[in-house]
Structure 1
């Protein structure tokens, strides 16, 4: 092999080596990523590299080519895409969600090929939460709430029940990419307020609160007499019976004595100067006209005469003893006659 041939091969090898080195060392860096719809993005080469010619493409679509100080944009990019003919940096203005993708620059100057991925997102606006119905019955109804936005892309949905996150469970379902919340067989603790938080890497928004009115009960009844635990009282006492119950809407309360309704409604039943014949079973009856359920509680009241104390009993005995002696004497005399 002559020296001229050897020299030519050496130059070619050096060019190829430089191209490989350049291709491996140069990276494409977006000015911002993710980008917001309507803004401009510049894709620069790092480190800066002088290129006399090249082309930019996204996926399989060519954006533009340049040679020297001349450049030409392809349809769809005219007026939106431009290249710095000295550095090869691409600037894309008024970007849309459709501009998301992998951008590649190629140049035959140094056999350069490099790429970078960018994402263009639409900001979130007008987050709205709507429920199919808000009047529900415990254990029988299911709540359905749908969250929507007027605009936004790559959406992430988070649901809140008051200050706690509402996550999927046996009764809670998240559907439609988590934009719809379903609570099966609601309980009284599912009233809310529920909110929908929507976010993406460039923005976020929160919906208006939605509350559910959940009818429940009557249940968890309690009945006290004179605010005491006892059920035995003296003749002549005044009694106030208080009936409490958990219910929404508030339960209708009625009273019964020994199974018969009395002409009293509401949580209180007052008895004045009670007598023995008022002993017996007193019942509080509760009814919820929304759930159509009822419940009751009964207490057995004993009205008794006061018992004698020890000293009182001694006094009675002192009076009874002479009387008994007189009666005994009379019976003995009658027997002798």
Structure 2
């Protein structure tokens, strides 16, 4: 059994089996025990945990700890032999948790850092997930500290998550709860329609419903304007009933995000306004 589990008992035996009358066991540069005939002596640090089969030379080591990992070597003069094996002792994983440096970020202005840790576990490897997709390194995506930390540089609105961390080792695995970033962005990609259409000509007497939409988080504050002047109307919808020719002209929608401190205007002098304005038809 290799790797072995913390707290378990392992037996290291020779293959093929031989009969030994004396020898010693050591791990790396530290002696564990020595024996001659029926007598064996256990070195400090292994008392009560190590014993040898004085006939086969098999070593039994109990109550394993992570520090018991290493290169184990047995030597004997009768017969003359030397054999070794590398033993890995691994601690099962439990309680995988995430820590976020800050969760409220502004798009393109801040970086998001998430750190993954376990309360118990050794020989750890990490994998990151964003929803059902695995996160891989890229220009803005960096892994540090043995992949236990995920850093997203200049976050975008598409980096909100949910993120989770999977920690695993040769004997166990664990998954954290999910965390999300709150990414503030916009307003941008504004759209304005009249009665659900992109039309610009309507008959006098019509009822008009103008809808202004903007991509923004948190939702943008919207203010309506007419012929370059603000009007007493806010919100996504501006309704006009039984319009008259004097109401002809360009209508505009101003969006403002108090978190990003960004504003955007759907109608602006000097732009192609063919899709952002309408004129009432005079008859």
Same fold (TM over 0.5): yes
Larger relative contact order, structure 1 or 2 (CA cutoff 8 Å, min sep 6): 2
Query: TM-score, with normalisation over the residues of structure 2?
Result: 0.94
- Counterparts of 1:1-337 in structure 2, within 5 Å, are 32-298=1-267, 299-305=276-282
- Contact 1:226–1:240 under 8 Å retained in 2: yes
Q: Give the whole-Å Cα distance in 1 for the aligned partners of 2:131 and 2:58.
A: 50
Q: Give the whole-Å Cα distance in 2 for the aligned partners of 1:38 and 1:122.
A: 9
Q: Give the whole-Å Cα distance in 2 for the aligned partners of 1:200 and 1:152.
A: 8
Q: Give the whole-Å Cα distance in 2 for the aligned partners of 1:192 and 1:152.
A: 26
Aligned residue for 2:13, secondary structure, equals strand
- Contact 2:226–2:250 under 8 Å retained in 1: yes
Q: Give the whole-Å Cα distance in 1 for the aligned partners of 2:207 and 2:82.
A: 99
Q: Deviations over 1:197-254 (max 9, x none)?
A: 1111121111121111111111111111111221111121111111111111111111
Aligned residue for 1:277, secondary structure, equals helix
Greater share of strand: 2
Q: Give the whole-Å Cα distance in 2 for the aligned partners of 1:146 and 1:46.
A: 45
| Bigger CA radius of gyration | 1
Q: Deviations over 1:293-320 (max 9, x none)?
A: 11121333222245xxxxxxxxxxxxxx
Unpaired stretches in structure 1, ≥5 consecutive residues: 1-31, 307-337
Deviation at 1:191, TM superposition (A): 0.7
CA RMSD of aligned residues (A): 1.2
Q: Give the whole-Å Cα distance in 2 for the aligned partners of 1:166 and 1:56.
A: 46
Deviation at 1:65, TM superposition (A): 1.3
Query: How many residues are matched?
Result: 275
Q: 1:73 to 1:262 in 2, by over 3 A?
A: same
Aligned residue for 1:197, secondary structure, equals strand
Q: Give the whole-Å Cα distance in 1 for the aligned partners of 2:204 and 2:32.
A: 102
- Contact 1:279–1:300 under 8 Å retained in 2: no
Deviation at 1:281, TM superposition (A): 0.6
Aligned residue for 1:150, secondary structure, equals strand
Q: Give the whole-Å Cα distance in 2 for the aligned partners of 1:72 and 1:60.
A: 17
- Contact 1:54–1:67 under 8 Å retained in 2: yes
Aligned residue for 1:221, secondary structure, equals strand
Query: TM-score, with normalisation over the residues of structure 1?
Result: 0.79
Greater share of helix: 1
Give the 4+ runs in structure 1 shifted more than 3 A: none
